[in-house]
Amino acid sequence: MSIEDEYRVLVRELQVRARELREAAERATDPEQRRRLRAKARRAEEQSQRAGHMNFQDGSPSPQ
């Protein structure tokens, strides 16, 4: 598996996790738990965006 493929898999996993956390937050009855789950979902979304925009550090052009 290439590095590009690994990043794609990572992005997809983080997107799925963010969606699951958002859904769990919607079902949560405790306001504090809902807030924590939403914060975790937001962090997972941010991580997926960062992973999706990663450039290769070895000087190679970034994949398009």
In the predicted model, is pLDDT for residue 58 greater than 70? no
Q: Are 62 and 56 in contact (CB under 8 A)?
A: yes
Q: Are 56 and 64 in contact (CB under 8 A)?
A: no
Domain count of the chain? 1
Range of the domain at 12: 3-52
In a domain, residue 61? The reply is: no
Greater model confidence, 31 or 57: 31
In a domain, residue 57? The reply is: no
In the predicted model, is pLDDT for residue 57 greater than 60? no
Residue 22's contacts (CB-CB under 8 Å, 6 or more residues apart) are 37, 38, 41
In a domain, residue 7? The reply is: yes
In the predicted model, is pLDDT for residue 13 greater than 60? yes
In a domain, residue 9? The reply is: yes
pTM confidence score = 0.76
Q: What is the DSSP string of 3-53?
A: HHHHHHHHHHHHHHHHHHHHHHHHH--SHHHHHHHHHHHHHHHHHHHHHHT
